[in-house]
Amino acid sequence: MERPSAARIYDYLLGGTANWAIDRKFGDAVVSKFPLARDLARANRQFLNRAVRYLTKQGVKQFLDIGAGVPTAGNTHQVADELLRGAGQEPDVRVVYVDNEPVAVAHADLLLNEEGDATRHAVIEADLRRPDDLWQEVLDTEIFDLDEPIALLLIAVLHFQQPDTDGNDVGEESVARLRELLPTGSYLALSHATDDGVPDEHRVKLAELKAMYAESASSSLIFRPRTAVASLLGDFQLVEPGWTWTPDWRPEETGPQAQRIRFPTPAHAVVWAGVGQKLP
């Protein structure tokens, strides 16, 4: 609680209010060092919007949003419900939000109590580093039906290190286990910051940003090359348009409430994104 939180910093960059002075001070330092930081966060949020809309159109009714952070406008259940209502359908998408940050979970719980549906929405405090425990807690909500596909959302999560007790990052192993647990037909939507293929000036700033998080924030950054990010989908079949920078992933799916972001080039967004499906 005495260090800036990745979840609350992200909320601040998105214009949210569930953050503290320590988070805002750090966020301002990030923006001072990297002026595009707010746009990067918004473009990543826009990818969430597009992925949820696309998957809802594919008939997905269940979303597991891990590392959901502090709930801000345009969260997963809001996007899905907006789409269905716009199509004249009764919203029936079920969402379980997961985070290991107590403040984020508390705010999500308040939001769902105010505007959610207890039969369709839940939030739990759990840790990605313990995927089997996390999965059991998700099942304990009784929100999901394992006879139906689930869309696992790992949006801007894995570029934060997931250290075990020895300090080794176990993010890849945790994702691999979750892929095993997902029912056939499920999807994995993933976005991850990278310094691979970005403009030279961004590469320098990303190195400085990594040092800032390591020194002061509650979570350290890890920038995997694009091939390593792509491997996080395992043998899931990549859906069109494949791996792209966030601005290029199905821009036609942008919802009416999503904020429009423009970059000099797509690579300026520095976040690599894709969606894959688990086939038999």
User: Looking at this protein, which amino acid is placed at residue 261?
Assistant: I
Q: Name the token pair of 201.
A: 């000036």
Rounded distance between C-alpha atoms, residue 216 and residue 212, angstroms: 6
Mean pLDDT split into 10-residue runs, the chain, 280 residues: 84 87 94 91 94 98 93 86 95 96 87 89 96 98 97 96 92 98 98 96 92 88 96 98 97 85 93 97
- pLDDT of res. 219: 86
- pLDDT of res. 1: 67
Q: Report which of 27, 26, 77 is spatially closest to residue 52, judged by C-alpha positions.
A: 77
- When the candidates are 2.40.30.170, 3.40.720.10, 3.40.605.10, 3.40.50.150, the CATH number that belongs to 38-199+218-277 is 3.40.50.150
Residue 154 has a CB neighbour count (10 Å cut-off) of 21
Distances (CA, A) of 259 to 28, 57, 123, 152, 207: 21, 21, 25, 23, 28
Which residue is listed with tokens 């086939």?
Answer: 279
Rounded distance between C-alpha atoms, residue 230 and residue 226, angstroms: 6
Rounded distance between C-alpha atoms, residue 258 and residue 250, angstroms: 13
Q: Which residues contact 2 (CB under 8 A, 6 or more apart)?
A: 22
Rounded distance between C-alpha atoms, residue 189 and residue 151, angstroms: 7
Q: Report which of 215, 261, 219 is spatially closest to residue 36, judged by C-alpha positions.
A: 261
DSSP letter at 256 equals T
Tell me the pTM: 0.95
Residue 123 near residue 96, CB atoms below 8 Å: yes
- pLDDT of res. 236: 98
* For helices 21-33 and 37-57, angle between their N-to-C axes, nearest 10 degrees: 100
DSSP states of 121-150 = EEEEE--TTSHHHHHHHHHHTT---TTS--
- pLDDT of res. 174: 98
Please list the residues that pair with 188 across neighbouring strands.
152, 276
- pLDDT of res. 177: 98
